[in-house]
A and B are shown apart, each in its own frame.
Chain A
Amino acid sequence: MRADIDHIVARFADEPAPGVSDGARELMREIMAGPPPLRPARRRRLSWKLTVPAVGVLVAGVLAMSWVLPSGLGGPAPVAALDIRQEDGYYVIQIKDLYADPGNYEAQLRAVGLDVSLRVLPASPAFEGQVFSTRPDHQVDERIKGIDAPGACDKLGGCMIGVKIPVGFTDKVQIDVGRPARPGERYRSGGAFDAKGEPMHCVPYLNKSLAEVRQMLTERGLAIGEVFVAGVPGTETADLSPGDVRDSWLVHGGYLTEPGRASLFANPAPMSPEAVAKSTRECPTS
């Protein structure tokens, strides 16, 4: 009975939004790099420690021991995790131990009167060294500045070697800093794998077949993790599932999930020439 009215209303619907686009993937990474889920602190910390794989502990070597061994049990004396200096009205903070227990950072920051939570997150290459400061309302705090490494920077996330915070800064703030991931460790911060500073930057892979892109990735030491159905504006992708993916599908994008591994977006239909042009606008034309 009601079908007629419902059909009238259905006519007014805008087209579906495109599927998981580059911008959507970037947003997903940004959200996960932001303040963590609201959950009991104990559980969160436990899960964080469990994510450290055995290989990673070996790579991190002695530095990691300072937090693996509880202090007071005869382990090595903890190395200062941060170097904090006062300079021109700022605290200049550099991270000495990228793999330290977050509690060590906070203890040092509190000692100089800063209510700052510092997280050092595994990040894909373009975001290693990125400094991202947010207040409890999720707004970016502009008063906290990154310190750029000298020279030109070829990474989307910037090339920072430290953070400057005004002396007397009393607000609560969270600072996330990207660090290299250990083997097998999933990136918590990252973006498209063709962003500046990522391995596929300016590699002409868009609209190439999955088989061809697999070859390009192999040459760069990357294996394919998952392949998702890419959204194509103006077309309905709801009837395609990852199980339908074929080697002949065309690649629309991808991102690194952990060292040596990338997930891709592909579709039987190509990306529009405009979308390709937009994605490659920073690259020299061949």
Chain B
Amino acid sequence: MGPPEPEQRFEAIYLAHYGAIATYVRRRTDSSDDIADVIAETFTTAWRRIDDIPDGDEARLWLYGVARRTLANHHRGQSRRAGLATRLREEAADWAHSMPDRDSDAAYQAFKRLPDQDRELLALVAWEGLSQPEIAKVLGCSRGALRIRLHRARKRLAKQLAAAELDLTRYGAHAVALAEGQS
């Protein structure tokens, strides 16, 4: 037996990682049309480059990397995949109803004020639950550089929270220490 047919491999990768990638995209996009488009674009790239996808769980990190670049190149409201993902688009329209109203949350506003790079680093930790070596793979940087960038991102958020005069003690002693530069 030779290697699996590309169709079988793609199906296996798609079914295993669709949920993680759809969640990743959903958490970074406001419009349901954009969500469906970016998911479609990400997996179309995966299909076209099926031979480049690493095996096992590394495939998920590879897909996060593709989704990240797709999001960065996707302009809001731009629909490129006419004829694709029609049903997914309808479904995504329903997801939007359950999005929490965070706009009145001052901590969220502080988070939104961070540079994009910082937000993405913090989100990959807190939303995707990735370890530092995994994040380094998604972003294509060294572990050392990643560690420093992540520390700075956390520190900048702590400062933003302090600047918003949020009661950091509500969030724990460490956030206070971080904002005060003791960490």
Which residues of chain A have a CB within 8 Å of any CB of chain B? 1-24, 26-28, 30-32, 34-39, 47, 51, 132, 138-140, 186, 188, 228, 231, 233-234, 237-238
- Residue interface mask B15-35, A partner, CB < 8 A = 1: 100110011011100000000
Interface of A, helix, strand, loop or mixed by DSSP: loop
Nearest 6 CB-CB pairings of A with B: A23-B88, A4-B172, A17-B22, A23-B87, A9-B126, A140-B83
Q: Please give me the residue from chain A that is nearest to B84 by CB atom.
A: A30
Given A2, A23, A38, A132, which contacts B174 in the complex, CB threshold below 8 Å? Answer: A2
Q: Please give me the residue from chain A that is nearest to B154 by CB atom.
A: A5
Q: Please give me the residue from chain A that is nearest to B39 by CB atom.
A: A27
B47 touches A12 (CB 8 A): no
Please count the residue pairs between chain A and chain B whose beta carbons lie under 8 angstroms apart in the complex: 171
A24 touches B48 (CB 8 A): no
Say whether B113 faces chain A, with CB atoms less than 8 Å apart. no
B111 touches A9 (CB 8 A): yes
Residues of chain A lying within 8 A (CB to CB) of residue B88: 21, 23-24, 26-27
Question: Which B residues from 141 to 177 make CB contacts under 8 A with A?
Answer: 154, 157-158, 161, 171-175
Residues of chain B lying within 8 A (CB to CB) of residue A39: 6, 50-51
Shortest distance from the beta carbon of A151 to any chain B beta carbon, whole Å = 25
Beyond A24-B39, A139-B82: 14 further Cβ-contacts under 8 Å? Answer: A1-B183, A4-B172, A4-B175, A5-B122, A7-B172, A9-B126, A16-B26, A21-B88, A23-B87, A23-B88, A24-B88, A27-B87, A37-B50, A47-B2
Given known pairs A5-B157, A8-B161, A21-B91, the reply for A27 and B174 (CB within 8 Å) is no
Given known pairs A140-B82, A140-B83, the reply for A28 and B11 (CB within 8 Å) is yes
Instruction: Write 5 A-B pairs (CB below 8 A) sorted by A numbering.
Output: A5-B171, A7-B172, A14-B23, A23-B89, A140-B83
Given B10, B44, B90, B102, which contacts A23 in the complex, CB threshold below 8 Å? Answer: B90
Q: Please give me the residue from chain B that is nearest to A35 by CB atom.
A: B48
The answer for the CA separation of A27 and B2 in the assembled complex, in Å, is 27
Given A21, A31, A139, which contacts B40 in the complex, CB threshold below 8 Å? Answer: A31
Given known pairs A9-B126, A231-B19, the reply for A34 and B95 (CB within 8 Å) is no
B18 touches A26 (CB 8 A): no
Residues of chain A lying within 8 A (CB to CB) of residue B11: 28, 32
Residues of chain B lying within 8 A (CB to CB) of residue A26: 85-88
B7 touches A186 (CB 8 A): yes
Which residues of chain B have a CB within 8 Å of any CB of chain A? 2, 5-8, 10-11, 14-15, 18-19, 22-23, 25-27, 36, 39-40, 43-44, 47-51, 80-92, 94-95, 98-100, 102, 105, 107-108, 111, 122-123, 125-127, 154, 157-158, 161, 171-175, 178, 183
Residues of chain B lying within 8 A (CB to CB) of residue A23: 36, 85-92
Shortest distance from the beta carbon of A25 to any chain B beta carbon, whole Å = 9
Given known pairs A19-B19, A23-B88, the reply for A138 and B127 (CB within 8 Å) is no
Shortest distance from the beta carbon of B158 to any chain A beta carbon, whole Å = 6
Q: Please give me the residue from chain B that is nearest to A5 by CB atom.
A: B154
A17 touches B19 (CB 8 A): yes
B91 touches A18 (CB 8 A): yes
The answer for the CA separation of A234 and B99 in the assembled complex, in Å, is 11
Shortest distance from the beta carbon of A22 to any chain B beta carbon, whole Å = 6
B47 touches A24 (CB 8 A): no
Q: Please give me the residue from chain B that is nearest to A278 by CB atom.
A: B90
Residues of chain A lying within 8 A (CB to CB) of residue B43: 27-28, 31
